[in-house]
Structure 1
Amino acid sequence: MPEKKKREPMDMIKQNALYVETVKKENRNQTLFTKFHINYKKLNILTDKPNTPPKEGEEEDPAVLLAVQRARMEPEKKYPKPQTSSQEIGWISTPLLASDCGDRRFNFSRQNTDITSYMEAVWKS
């Protein structure tokens, strides 16, 4: 088996030469971009104050208005079916039975007894 050569510790001169070589390689492969452009057609950098009326002839973009309206919609109106597994819970929010307050089988309203009304008065004071 051949013996492995031991590396000599680098002195300051070798470290500096290595650093100079690294900087030269970086400068050789580095390119400077001076041509910049904006990827969006219509860009309003500064917005008007919220309490000022819109200027004459200035209209809002209908595509932006449609996107804002769509973002405000509920998920059930935006999508035909749930997009994630957590949306599946509560996706169909219409009740299965029409609620009838007179039916005692489904209406369990709060009932007070002497003890509960007494404790409620105690907790309020």
Structure 2
Amino acid sequence: MRGAVLRALGEEEFGRWWGVGAQVLDAVRAGADAPPVAPVPAARGAGVDALTRREREVAALVAEGMSNREIAERLVISKRTADAHVEHILAKLGVGSRTEIAAVTEAGVTGAGG
């Protein structure tokens, strides 16, 4: 199982999650109520492959310059859902702005041969 997870995540991401698991186990063994786990940063440059199909749709619309409200209207979802998708995309791609989402999306499409 460990080997399959390592292959699926890659060494860097596996190491990050392994560290989180170790923190949780240490906290449990110490009898802590809530483990003091630091957030795990996304693998910088993970690319569009890290996104779900819907997140890729939203990222493409962000790259077109659409606001979250416009994305919500286009996809017939609530603005809050669009907000959440954009936040997840930012976290998964390890970027901090909509402009960076557009750059990664463009690079992912170009890198994927289309």
Whether TM exceeds 0.5 here: the answer is no
Structure with higher RCO (Cα < 8 A, 6+ apart):
2
Q: If each structure's helix is expressed as a fraction of its own residues, which one has the higher value?
A: 2
Tell me which structure has the larger Cα radius of gyration: 1
